[in-house]
Structure 1
């Protein structure tokens, strides 16, 4: 596939006001349309929608072990340019975002060298932001 199309992702949040503030103020995403039950955001050119959904007592956080770190599953995010990822990681650190996995470099000097970090929104949705030193290696084996 040569051209990327914007994706649309809708996620549940149990506190619309808190989540709206996080995506707007902490991540600095531009807000689009909204209603009493949902809010659109420009997620780096993609459409992210937070939808109010009452939290269920049966929802638990799941993880998979990767590189000795507990990676949240499910999670979503975006692949940023290397310099933009660095600036974004610094901005989040300055805003005292609590990382599930602190920003670090995987596969340093190897095929697929990448920067990655994980954190949760205030409603428990896991996000990963990553960057590849060489963007042509996103799917390299």
Structure 2
């Protein structure tokens, strides 16, 4: 049903839109699509991420139950993201690490927190069929 022209839509709260732009554009390399007084929309690795200005942001970054991110099909894309995070000294919560080592679901992961404590996880499965 979904094709390459469709985008998943993700919306998260942001306490400061300038901070969101700094993190997502200049930190992670997302492209800013639109900006309004109350929200900013990004091309986030091919999907649509909207940061809505809000006073209701998490007090601390907590991975579960709510987080979002990208499962990279190609190991080199995950490696490139990890290098970017390290070079730009972005705030990590966990990783890079290997999860479920020795099982069919073995994958590498890294979790970040944006300035509004939204948690973003990036991962790459050894078996690319498991990315979904």
- TM-score normalised per structure 2: 0.86
Partners of 1:62 and 1:94 in 2: how far apart? Answer: 22
How far is the alpha carbon of 1:85 from its aligned partner?
0.5
Relative contact order, CA 8 A, sep 6+: which one is greater? 2
Normalized per residue, the structure richer in strand is: 1
Aligned residues: 130
Bigger Rg, structure 1 or 2:
1
1:61–1:73: 8 Å Cα contact kept in structure 2? no
How far is the alpha carbon of 1:9 from its aligned partner?
0.8
2:38–2:52: 8 Å Cα contact kept in structure 1? yes
User: In structure 1, what is the equivalent of residue 21 of structure 2?
Assistant: 20
Gaps of 5+ in 2: none
The answer to whether 1:31 aligns with 2:29 is no
Over aligned residues, Cα RMSD in angstroms? 2.1
Tell me which stretches of 4 or more aligned residues in structure 1 moved more than 6 Å.
none
Gaps of 5+ in 1: 64-70
